[in-house]
Amino acid sequence: MTDLLTHLRTRRSVPAANLGAPGPDSETLTDMLTIAARVPDHGKLAPWRFILFEGDARLAFGAALADLVKRRDREASEEFLQRERDRFASAPLVVGVVSCAGPHPKIPEWEQILSAGAVCLNLVHAAYGHGFAAQWLTEWYAYDPEVLAMLGLEPHEQMAGFVQIGTADSVPTDRARPTLAGLITNWDPAARAGE
């Protein structure tokens, strides 16, 4: 468990632009998705699903984003459009995690959404556990109705994120982390009783 604690203390997202080949093979990907799906899931609803972007599908998605941007803004620069084309070009694998949360007689929708977020983070951990690096992103296209329709999402579904996975070309420096002292309070029942 020491290795797990070291990973949790030091994990750092690698920017998608710094991820390259190789990516996970089919068997490794299956294991990573199995690990990702092992999250708290009140009611065993599995309120999430996966969309895989591999090979040429990554480039086709970027081309579709650039086409959409150009249709909306004919003045968009070629540099800007190329940035959209390259969205999924670096990492050899991108896993879209879809939140399928919806009304349920016993399980609050918020709990279902949190479960999808846990899937994203578990997938990041699974990638690192298999010797890869990852970055969990959303960006504008995770919220755009036309893109969501292009991805086949139902009206009640949302993108929890896109997890880009590959081999890091460098080790990123750490970033500033929150100071816990300002984030922790102790509940005091006596103080509440006097209100």
The pLDDT tens digits for 57-74 are: 999 999 999 999 999 999
Q: Where are the alpha helices (DSSP H) in 1-85?
A: 2-10, 26-36, 56-72, 78-85
Q: Residue 2 pLDDT > 80, yes or no? A: no
Q: Where are the alpha helices (DSSP H) in the chain?
A: 2-10, 26-36, 56-72, 78-85, 109-129, 145-150, 189-193
Domain layout of the chain by residue ranges: 2-193
Q: Which residues are annotated as a binding site?
A: 11-13, 38, 42, 136-138
Q: Residue 30 pLDDT > 80, yes or no? A: yes
What is the pLDDT confidence band of residue 1, given thresholds at 50, 70 and 90? low
Q: Residue 190 pLDDT > 80, yes or no? A: yes
Q: Residue 141 pLDDT > 90, yes or no? A: yes
Give the C-alpha distances (Å, rounded to integers) separating 12 from 7, 47, 168, 177. 9, 27, 11, 11
Average pLDDT over residues 75-85: 96
Q: How far apart are CA 64 and CA 79, in angstroms?
A: 16
pLDDT at 62: 97
Q: Residue 148 pLDDT > 80, yes or no? A: yes
Q: At what angle do helices 78-85 and 56-72 cross, to 10 degrees?
A: 150
| Paired strand residues for 134 | 165
Q: Which residues are annotated as a binding site for FMN?
A: 11-13, 38, 42, 136-138
Q: Which of 3-7, 61-65, 138-142 has the lowest mean pLDDT?
A: 3-7
| Paired strand residues for 20 | 167
CATH class of the domain defined by 2-193? alpha beta
